[in-house]
Amino acid sequence: MKIPDSDVVIQGGCAKVADQLVKDKVYVVWNPGSQFGICNCTWAEMGNTCEHMFKVINLCRKRGSTMPSISIFQYHKALIDMLHCPPHDSLIRDHAISLAVLCTEAVECTC
Ligand SMILES: [Zn+2]
């Protein structure tokens, strides 16, 4: 069954794929774009690679070739936000700051 692009929403670390039979039902694919994605449908729970994972992989590849990675930019922005407004837990804050610095360097290098 063919899943239209509009039925797939990729957000952060997961992708939501609308069921083609029951439109209210949504499957969640974790680790989108990776062959090691995890879906919560029954077919995937039996250890198979389901149509939702295939769709998300295809969509990621398609988007990756047509436009720059927006998700990396959003990830970077989220890290910078954390840097400016750090959580109280110092371990998380240290981790966030080191990630943000790494990310900033990576972004500056590619510009
Ligand atoms: Zn699935």
Phi, psi at 107, each rounded to 5°: -70, -40
Is the distance from CB of 47 to CB of 78 less than 8 angstroms? no
CA of 1 to the centre of ligand 1 (A): 12
Residue 60 shares a structural domain with residue 42: yes
Total tally of structural domains belonging to the chain: 2
Residue 78 shares a structural domain with residue 48: no
pLDDT of residue 47: 87
Residue 90 shares a structural domain with residue 49: no
CA of 75 to the centre of ligand 1 (A): 25
Residue 57 shares a structural domain with residue 76: no
pLDDT tens digits, one per residue of 30-66 = 988 776 788 999 999 998 889 999 999 888 888 774 4
User: What average pLDDT does this structure show over 8-21?
Assistant: 90
Residue 78 shares a structural domain with residue 32: no
Residues 6+ apart with CB under 8 A from 78: none
| Residue 83 belongs to domain spanning | 70-110
CA of 72 to the centre of ligand 1 (A): 25
Residue 52 shares a structural domain with residue 85: no
CA of 76 to the centre of ligand 1 (A): 29
pLDDT of residue 86: 56
Residue 102 shares a structural domain with residue 78: yes
73 confidence band (pLDDT: 50, 70, 90): low
The proportion of the chain whose per-residue pLDDT surpasses 70, expressed as a percent, equals 77
Residue 84 shares a structural domain with residue 38: no
pLDDT at 18 exceeding the cut of 60: yes
CA of 99 to the centre of ligand 1 (A): 32
Residue 48 shares a structural domain with residue 26: yes
